[in-house]
Amino acid sequence: MTKVGNYNTLEIHINAQNVATLELSRGAKSNAVNSEMWDELPPALELLDRRDDLRVVVLKGHGRNFCAGIDFSALKGLSASVDLSCPGRSREALRRSILRWQDSLTSLEKCRWPVIAAVQGACVGAGVDMITAADIRYCSADATFCVKEVDLAIVADMGTLQRLPGIVGEGVARELALTARIISAEEAKRVGLVTEVFPDVAALYAAVDRIAATMAAKSPLAITGTKRVMLHSRDMTVSNGLDYVATWNSAQMLSEDIQTVIESLARKSKQLPPFSKL
């Protein structure tokens, strides 16, 4: 494992299979998201996005809990930074801060490499915002999930209300957001928030490592293209999505990766040769 970048709230390591682990490293605070983490996530993901040798990103939380939500120190700092002498200016400044924090989590989607969230323990509020911006979600049996914001007298504004309905369905998303009830790992699987539940954290991480390695062995053009097309199609009609993917593939299907697959199939090879980096 090779460590890359230098952050106070995050740690990034890349293994021999070209899989990056992006770990929230405020374990003593249950990885509650403070102002520094909001600021560090975008450049960290941009760093990973720029690496042509990468294939997959695994998102983890250090310690017992994946993420306990937003750190109240961040909310206090946000309030302190607003000039209350002019209501109009204070509201404009607050809106810009919210948009900046939204962009911080959207950087998980903007990263061209697929992001796999591996969740253990509590995943609350901003943690749910974070994993709904990931491409795939798995968890350990001790994981719990909560869209907590209504209990704090605020409206969830970092992406859960926009992304969760597409993952679990409109009715389930509304019920979770309006009640702020805690759901178990098994219920999270039943409603589709996570794909699979593993008995413990060790089993979770081992399984995610295997899945990430399987994805990393595939054509990087196909992997990054699939992520991008699915994200764009989410906000399109079916006909618009089909038109978009036709345009995408017209630009990508003449790649050497496809030729590699064709030649491998012709040889009846059970294992594909390594694909070139992007």
User: For all residues of the chain together, what is the average pLDDT?
Assistant: 91
Each residue's pLDDT tens digit, 19-66? 999 999 999 999 999 999 999 999 999 999 999 999 999 999 999 999
For a pLDDT cut of 90, what percent of the chain falls above it?
69
Structure tokens at 175: 């019920």
- For residues 143 and 243, membership in a common domain is answered with no
- For residues 111 and 9, membership in a common domain is answered with yes
- For residues 241 and 124, membership in a common domain is answered with no
Final residue in a domain of this structure, among 216, 232, 254: 216
Each residue's pLDDT tens digit, 133-187? 999 999 999 999 999 999 988 899 889 999 999 999 999 999 999 999 999 999 9
- For residues 24 and 146, membership in a common domain is answered with yes
- For residues 16 and 76, membership in a common domain is answered with yes
pLDDT at residue 78 is higher than 70? no
Bridge-based pairing of strands 56-61 and 19-24 is parallel
Q: Which CATH number covers residue 106?
A: 3.90.226.10
Q: Does residue 10 sit within a domain?
A: yes
Sign of the torsion angle spanned by Cα atoms 227, 70, 27, 201:
negative
How far apart (Å, rounded) are the C-alpha atoms in residues 90 and 247? 44
User: Looking at the 3D structure of the chain, how many domains does it have?
Assistant: 2
Average pLDDT over residues 178-203: 98
Question: In the structure, what pLDDT confidence band is assigned to residue 81 with cuts at 50, 70 and 90?
Answer: low
pLDDT at residue 190 is higher than 90? yes
Q: Does residue 66 sit within a domain?
A: yes
Supply the pTM of this predicted model. Answer: 0.90
pLDDT at residue 112 is higher than 90? yes
Question: In the structure, what pLDDT confidence band is assigned to residue 270 with cuts at 50, 70 and 90?
Answer: low
pLDDT computed for residue 82 by the predictor: 62
Helix H segments across 68-194? 72-80, 87-110, 126-132, 160-168, 170-179, 185-191
* Residue 259, CA distances (Å) to 46, 247, 253, 273 in order: 30, 20, 10, 12
pLDDT at residue 259 is higher than 80? no
Looking up tokens 């209300």, which residue turns up? 161
pLDDT higher for 97 or 229?
229
Distance of CA 126 to the CA centre of its chain: 12
Range of the domain at 53: 2-216
Q: Does residue 185 sit within a domain?
A: yes
- For residues 124 and 246, membership in a common domain is answered with no
- For residues 186 and 229, membership in a common domain is answered with no
How far apart (Å, rounded) are the C-alpha atoms in residues 226 and 243? 14
